[in-house]
């Protein structure tokens, strides 16, 4: 069961592009951002400006939650991922290069955007890695409000 659930979650992550990322600030205030992501298995990576609100929140509290879903008209078709875990900046240069390439491959438009807007290339962009602790996989085809939890 655990292997099947993990495979379903990875397939879902592989076929989506954006997530809602929830962070908590120093004063306890919650913040949510929509960010593009890449994943390798259950490891999820995203980029952000180190001066952004989410980056400042992460600096004070590295616990996060994410949600990935779609706008389903038919409730029987609802699928989604809810995840809680921690996040950290990628410091290893080899890992960073690998993730930058993954991101550029999944989102080729990022090269045009970065160069045009900021005059930079992806190789100087910092990325973060999400380490999941628990993942809920919603699957309403198994019943209204059905989800299975993968504890890691």
Q: pLDDT tens, 88-104?
A: 999 999 999 999 999 99
pLDDT at 130: 98
Nearest to 80 by CA among 152, 3, 141, 130: 141
pLDDT at 124: 87
User: pLDDT band for position 45 (50/70/90)?
Assistant: very high
User: Cα–Cα distance between 146 and 123 in angstroms, integer?
Assistant: 41
**pTM exceeding 0.75:** yes
Which domains occur in the chain, in start order? 2-93+126-151 (2.30.110.10)
């Amino acid at each position: 069961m655990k292997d099947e659930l993990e495979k379903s979650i990875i397939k879902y992550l592989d076929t989506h592009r954006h997530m809602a990322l929830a962070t908590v600030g120093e004063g306890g205030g919650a913040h949510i951002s929509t960010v593009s992501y890449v994943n390798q298995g259950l490891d999820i990576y995203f980029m952000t400006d180190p001066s952004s609100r989410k980056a400042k929140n992460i600096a004070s509290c590295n616990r996060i939650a994410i949600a990935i879903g779609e706008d389903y008209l038919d409730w029987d078709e609802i699928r989604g991922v809810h995840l809680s875990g921690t996040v950290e900046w990628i410091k290893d240069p080899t890992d960073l290069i690998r993730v930058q390439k993954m991101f550029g491959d999944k989102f080729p438009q990022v090269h045009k955007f970065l160069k045009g807007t900021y005059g930079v290339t992806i190789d100087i962009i910092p990325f973060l890695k999400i380490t999941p602790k628990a993942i809920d996989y919603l699957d309403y085809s198994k019943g209204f409000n059905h989800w299975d939890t993968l504890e890691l």
